[in-house]
Amino acid sequence: MRRAWKISVMGVIAAGAVFSAISVTDDIDARKNLEFFWEMRHFDNLAVVALARGSIYPGMPSHELVRLAPPVWSDTIGRYAVYGFTPSGSYDYVAVIAVDEKVTEAYAGSCTWHWTFFDGTPREIRKSVSTIRHLKRSLRWLEERPALEQSERYKSVMKTVLQQERAKLGVPLESAQTGQSPVP
């Protein structure tokens, strides 16, 4: 009887050691994260497998990323680029972000889970990209409603701010087009 007790104690200790090893290496700090981690590990996508294995890592040159796991689409705004590895509009998503052609952030998820592999995108870059996207949507909305009072004044102010934010990301003034584009 005493031997059986020792064996089950050893089993519990071994299971705890395995969980601790997974937790330390994969940033799992709560039960919910463990569930997300297992969901992510069952997601069959070349980019997710490469991220989980560490083949895609912070600082990796973006041309190596594209060679290792070809994206389905990309969106570039000056120094900032997003590479998408699932069809746009899908419930699942996998994206890798690069700034100055170096990978800075990677995440995957679905409607029920989200996993961030790493996140090192500078705050000021993230803020500029968010501002640009918001202003572009607002300008499109105003252009669809020309009868609104003050719309020309608002458009002028928004275009000025948009150009300032683009300049922060190194987008030339004549390069007004950004958006999703399929990657060959």
CA distance 43 to 26: 16
Across-strand partners of 97? 82, 105
Q: What is the pLDDT of residues 18-68, one digit of tens each?
A: 444 444 444 544 555 555 555 555 667 788 888 888 899 999 999 999 999
Average pLDDT, stretch 77-98?
Answer: 90
Can you tell me the distance from the alpha carbon of 105 to that of 119, in angstroms, rounded to the nearest whole number?
A: 4
**pLDDT at residue number 22:** 47
- Which amino acid belongs to residue 59? G
pLDDT tens per residue, range 118-163: 999 999 999 999 999 999 998 888 788 766 666 777 788 888 888 9
Residue 98 has phi, psi (to 5 degrees) of -125, 140
Distances (CA, A) of 3 to 7, 11, 12: 6, 12, 14
Question: pLDDT at position 48, please?
Answer: 84
Least confident of 3-7, 88-92, 174-178: 174-178
3-28: pLDDT as tens digits: 555 556 555 565 554 444 444 444 54
Q: pLDDT-based confidence at 82, cuts 50/70/90?
A: very high
Compute the average pLDDT of residues 99-114. Answer: 91
**106 DSSP β-pair partners:** 96, 118
| 111, two tokens | 């409607």
CA atoms within 13 A on the CB side of 38: 6
**Locate tokens 């090893």: which residue?**
21
- pLDDT exceeds 90 at position 73: yes
DSSP type of residue 61: B
pTM exceeds 0.75, yes or no: no
